[in-house]
Amino acid sequence: DIKLKELVDELYKIKSIDKEGQEWSQKNYPGGYTSYSSMNQLHRFSTSFEVLQKQIDKEVKKFAKNLDLDLGSGSLFMSHFWANIMPPGVTHSMHIHPLSVISGSFYVQTPRNCSSINIRFNGVYKWRNVFHPQFLTSRLKSCWRSIV
């Protein structure tokens, strides 16, 4: 089971030891922290993040099935997994990960009165071509409830 409190505690421990990530964030992510440039495979060295990765993998599999993604003989796997910490007032600009098949965010902690959705798939990519939001909108509406 995913223990959100343990993940929050571990995120702040990672931030405290990740000097390279702190320096990068200071220049590129003012007010926030990301392990993107320094520790981007958290699921490979943290049991807490490995547990989360396994749960996300299940959701990604359902998501791909609901979108009728034809993977041929291939399979989906998580290649990168990093953390962002965004205090109030910090923003993270919309962007894409074009070398990914599916990209998403898992919210470990959100402010009070925010949505209770913990996972959001930001992009679905196929052979470096982005499926545009107009294409995904109707598909997502039909499968979103089964994912969350």
Interval 43-70: pLDDT, tens = 998 999 999 899 888 888 888 888 888 7
Looking at this protein, which amino acid is placed at residue 46?
S
Residue 127 has which token pair?
């052979």
pTM as predicted: 0.75
**Per-residue tokens: 88:** 């109030």
Q: What is the mean pLDDT of residues 1-29?
A: 91
Residue 95's pLDDT is what?
A: 74
Give residue-wise pLDDT tens across range 75-133: 888 889 999 998 888 887 777 777 778 888 888 887 777 766 677 776 666 544 444 44
Q: Which of 90, 80, 102 is nearest to 36 (CA)?
A: 80
